[in-house]
Chain A
Amino acid sequence: MLKAMLGEAWHAMGANRLRTVLTMLGMVIGVGSVVLMMAIGQGAQYAVAQTISTLGSNLYILISGSTSAGGLRSGGGGGPTLTVADADAIAELDGVSQVAPMQQGTQQLVHGANNWSSTVVGTTPAYFDARSWTIVSGYPFGDSDVRAATRVALIGQTAADNLFGADDPLGKTIRIRQSPFVIIGVLGKKGQNLDGRDQDDTVIIPLTTAQRKVFGNPFPGSVRLIMVQAHSAEAMPAVEKSMTALLRQRHRLREEQDNDFYLRNLAAAADSAAETTRVMSLLLGAIASVSLLVGGIGIMNIMLVSVTERTREIGIRMAIGARQKDIRAQFLLEALIISVAGCLIGLVFGVLGALSINAVTDMVIVISGGSVLVAFAVAAGIGIFFGFYPARRAAALDPIEALRHQ
């Protein structure tokens, strides 16, 4: 029975080939664009997830205000409000795993005849752990280097490429503000951060050395930035609270006074970036779904035309014994074939489109089995949904009226 019906559906569709193909085209475009848009959206999500994983997890950045006034005033003439002692105190708090005081700025790096401007970070060994930064060759500096203010440096991939080209930077000397630094390690590659800045364009040196030789610091013991890592995402709210309380107490801030530091939650920033791309990819999918809907309406339209055109045929079939469900199944099957075939072709085009975007741009495109499955289920659903009404109309025809139809 089903085989006979399939054959008949094939026949009916073949009788109006152009119309069938055009109707299918609606589904092809719909499914194709859904697959493509989902691939682009998921690609963007994947790229952001990759970036987030390079930032280090559960991080806070404390940014100091200035001492010139009671309130917080950026760019003031006074010294930074945060100190290395603050950092040490924070390290004692529950739920805190790493604390790294930092001083950073852009500096000219010189090696032989090569010049390169890069971000120089002065910090403590905790920084490498907090940022989960791998070291591909050499080793990181230790606490003794910070105490003794040794002139050692770890270099990021981009800075290394620009200063040393294909040479191995390990053991070579670079100059920052006339001071020579020996490169003791090369950092692993991280790529861009969420703002699109190249994280590998950097040099990391001990905090003390940075303050004395590179940036200069008229306020000994103070720092502009402290990076704090919590044990876990769950611990973050508690850490934030106790850290703020600790700093206010250490800075002797009165109840009515504002904080003299900023606290920036990098995890939240990462979350919001992930959320933004998630919403964007949903939006892309939703826009593409509209074309799928239009394709579905096209199927319904054509099926209604087909029912009207074939009213007499329906009457004949009923007269020789077709039950309502037989007629309904016949038209439903046709709608389903059109939508599923259109879906398959659309899938192929969508995947080809995604692959070609992948080939010609550096955009990340991810085609998941899930999105393919969703597109397929939606197409079948559309076939049934938009085919049902015409099929029901066909089945509800009165045999005598239908037979009289010209």
Chain B
Amino acid sequence: MAQAIVRVVALGKSYPTAAGPFPALRGVDLAIEPGEFVAIMGPSGSGKSTFMNLLGCLDTPTSGDYFLAGRNVAHMGKDKLAVLRNRTIGFVFQGFNLLPRMTLEDNVALPLVYSGIGRDERRALARLELGRVGLSDYAASLPSRISGGQQQRVAIARALVNAPQLILADEPTGNLDSHTSDEIMTLFAALNDEGITLIVVTHEPDIAAHARRQVRFLDGLMVSDLPTPARRAGQARSAC
């Protein structure tokens, strides 16, 4: 068994509120191997986004440990976490989160600016990723000129541009219609086939069905962790 890309041990997160600390996560244990495609499900308020923020190094846990590619990042400083977000992790958000004044190419290239990569190389890599999500023709467009589904593809290209070890997506299809959602999930599945590790939060079982493994949260705890049934039946593409 390869080293887990993500391993959390008794991970806990409490938010300070007026009524005292509120435990959004109450001790989660989970390991994810490279090349996995995991869907995280659960009702609203069960702590999915909190968990994703911790996995994405946007926040630090109040208890427990988080090993990202073998390194414990639970107590790392802000700048080191920023470097991890830049090099090791790619984010896809529900609201796309493209910078509205930048061209798509510049949006995709933005993580490379913070890795200190030169302009020509940034440009070449950004075009490559735009091609990968099928949007080469729109390199010079602004985000407002393209559809939501296309914007999410650009966001995926941006997440991929620095060749991260892990892609995190918190409800990436939340703002999209079911057809476009399906396209995005198909794209994710294709990327997973290329060996990219994916963790996707979703409410919808149809969407989760694209993943190979489904994890359920309830009240800040992980309550189930099962392979996707269709996959278990051996109908899916095989990339293992």
**A15 partner residues in chain B, CB cutoff 8 A:** 101
**CA A315 to CA B99, docked complex, whole Å:** 11
Q: Which of B93, B98, B113 contacts A403 (CB 8 A)?
A: B93
**B162 partner residues in chain A, CB cutoff 8 A:** 321
B43 to chain A, nearest CB (A): 20
B53, closest chain A residue (CB): A400
Contact (Cβ within 8 A) A317 B110: yes
**B116 partner residues in chain A, CB cutoff 8 A:** 1
Q: Which of A316, A324, A400 contacts B82 (CB 8 A)?
A: A324
Residues 55-75 of chain A, each 1 if its beta carbon lies under 8 Å from chain B, else 0: 000000000000000000000
Contact (Cβ within 8 A) A319 B56: yes
Contact (Cβ within 8 A) A321 B114: yes
**A317 partner residues in chain B, CB cutoff 8 A:** 110, 114
A329 to chain B, nearest CB (A): 11
Decide if A254 is an interface residue (CB 8 Å cutoff).
Answer: no
Contact (Cβ within 8 A) A320 B56: no
Residues 1-43 of chain A, each 1 if its beta carbon lies under 8 Å from chain B, else 0: 1011100000110010000000000000000000000000000
Decide if A313 is an interface residue (CB 8 Å cutoff).
Answer: yes
Contact (Cβ within 8 A) A324 B59: no
Decide if B137 is an interface residue (CB 8 Å cutoff).
Answer: no
Q: Tell which of A3, A4, A317, A324 has the most Cβ of chain B within 10 Å.
A: A4
Contact (Cβ within 8 A) A321 B101: no
Contact (Cβ within 8 A) A321 B102: no
Q: Given A326-B114, A399-B58, A318 and B82 touching (CB < 8 A)?
A: yes
**CA A1 to CA B58, docked complex, whole Å:** 23
Interface positions of B from 66 to 95, Cβ below 8 Å from A:
78-79, 82-83, 85-87, 91, 93
**A322 partner residues in chain B, CB cutoff 8 A:** 82, 86, 114
Decide if A393 is an interface residue (CB 8 Å cutoff).
Answer: no
**CA A11 to CA B162, docked complex, whole Å:** 24
- Chain B: residues with Cβ within 8 Å of the partner, total of 28
**CA A146 to CA B47, docked complex, whole Å:** 112
**CA A320 to CA B59, docked complex, whole Å:** 14
Q: Given A11-B101, A326-B114, A399-B58, A321 and B93 touching (CB < 8 A)?
A: no
**A400 partner residues in chain B, CB cutoff 8 A:** 53, 58-59
A402, closest chain B residue (CB): B58
**A250 partner residues in chain B, CB cutoff 8 A:** none
Q: Given A1-B116, A399-B58, A320 and B101 touching (CB < 8 A)?
A: no
B61 to chain A, nearest CB (A): 13
Contact (Cβ within 8 A) B102 A320: no
Residues 115-126 of chain B, each 1 if its beta carbon lies under 8 Å from chain A, else 0: 110010010000
Decide if B141 is an interface residue (CB 8 Å cutoff).
Answer: no
Interface residues of chain A, those whose CB is within 8 Å of chain B, are: 1, 3-5, 11-12, 15, 312-313, 315-326, 399-400, 403
Complex A-B, nearest 6 residue pairs according to Cβ-Cβ distance, in ascending order: A321-B86, A321-B114, A323-B82, A320-B111, A323-B79, A4-B113
Q: Besides the contacts A312-B97, A321-B87, what 20 more A-B pairs have beta carbons closer than 8 Å? A: A1-B113, A1-B116, A4-B113, A4-B119, A5-B113, A11-B101, A11-B102, A15-B101, A316-B98, A316-B99, A318-B82, A319-B56, A319-B97, A320-B85, A320-B114, A321-B82, A323-B82, A399-B58, A400-B53, A403-B58
